[in-house]
């Protein structure tokens, strides 16, 4: 009977809305985070000391400061530095979603760039030399020869970080983003069905996590087949 209450049309709509927001946060953060990770990896590979120091500082900050603090810095700190007109515009158009995506993407970019670097270090230097001898520029060699190999080598670790990002989206509830955890708290406050509500949300996260693990296994299997 309790589950029937939670699955009533009103609360089901809230859960579906939360799931949609969670998936939006996850996908946007993943895409932006992977792009930034590639940029960081390429910049560090250039070997220019000032650029390398900045990249290292960026990575160490995001690896050692809790993700929730990073989110608060973006949502409360960075937002307060914006002009009032821009801040008001952001608040009227889902600032909690935008800053959550930026915070999560920056966090994952730092970690994923390290995974990419691990993949790069496993690639022989002769691969770059051969690519350059074929007439490719440094960027072209990285784009067509080095990074695809680094991606394959770093894939298991990257899939682990992807799974972690999916679960990390739950902390966006702390700034009012209407994702699954936020909606669960809202439903629980209205129904006082704590166990039932969070059991359903837990099941959704478990299913989502298993789907991501299956996707990671499928992608890894596909890569292995292409290499044969």
First to last CA, the chain: 55
For residue 102, what pLDDT is reported? Answer: 95
CATH 1.10.10.10 fits 2-227, yes or no: no
**Could you give the CA distance from residue 103 to residue 69 in angstroms, rounded to a whole number?**
10
**Could you give the CA distance from residue 41 to residue 139 in angstroms, rounded to a whole number?**
12
Q: Taking 80 as the threshold, does the pLDDT of residue 89 lie above it?
A: no
For residue 80, what pLDDT is reported? Answer: 83
Percent with pLDDT over 90 in the chain: 47
Cβ within 8 Å of residue 19, ≥6 positions away = 180, 204
* Averaged pLDDT for residues 49-71: 95
* Higher pLDDT, residue 1 or 141: 141
* Mean residue pLDDT across the chain: 87
**pLDDT tens digits along 177-212:** 999 999 999 888 888 888 888 888 999 999 999 999
Where do the structural domains in the chain lie, given as residue ranges?
2-227
Q: Taking 60 as the threshold, does the pLDDT of residue 218 lie above it?
A: yes
Band of residue 224 on the pLDDT scale cut at 50, 70, 90: low
Q: Taking 50 as the threshold, does the pLDDT of residue 1 lie above it?
A: no
Q: Taking 50 as the threshold, does the pLDDT of residue 94 lie above it?
A: yes
* Averaged pLDDT for residues 79-85: 83
Give CA 100 to chain center in angstroms.
10
**pLDDT tens digits along 114-141:** 998 888 888 888 888 888 888 888 778 8
Q: How many H helices and E strands in the chain? A: 12, 0
Band of residue 32 on the pLDDT scale cut at 50, 70, 90: very high
For residue 228, what pLDDT is reported? Answer: 54
Tokens of 129: 């030399």
């Amino acid at each position: 009977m309790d589950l029937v209450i939670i699955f009533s049309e009103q609360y089901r709509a809230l859960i579906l809305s939360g799931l949609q927001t969670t998936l939006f946060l996850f996908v946007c953060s993943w895409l932006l985070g992977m792009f930034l990770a590639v940029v960081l990896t390429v910049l560090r590979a250039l070997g220019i000391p000032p650029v390398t120091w900045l990249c290292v500082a960026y990575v160490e900050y995001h690896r050692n400061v809790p993700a929730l603090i990073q989110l608060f810095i973006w949502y409360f700190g960075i937002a307060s530095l914006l002009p009032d007109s821009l801040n008001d515009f952001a608040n009227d158009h889902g600032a909690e979603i935008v800053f959550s995506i930026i915070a999560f993407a920056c966090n994952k970019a730092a970690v994923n760039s390290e995974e990419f670097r691990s993949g790069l270090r496993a690639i022989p230097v002769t691969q770059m030399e051969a690519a350059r001898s074929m007439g490719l520029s440094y960027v072209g060699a990285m784009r067509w020869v080095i990074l695809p190999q680094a991606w394959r080598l770093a894939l298991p670790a990257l899939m682990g970080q992807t799974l972690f990002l999916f679960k990390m989206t739950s902390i966006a509830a702390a700034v009012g983003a209407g994702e699954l955890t936020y909606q669960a708290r809202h439903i629980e406050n209205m129904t006082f069905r704590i166990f039932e509500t969070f059991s359903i949300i837990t099941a959704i996260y478990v299913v989502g996590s298993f789907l991501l693990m299956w996707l990671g296994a499928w992608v890894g299997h596909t890569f292995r087949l292409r290499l044969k």
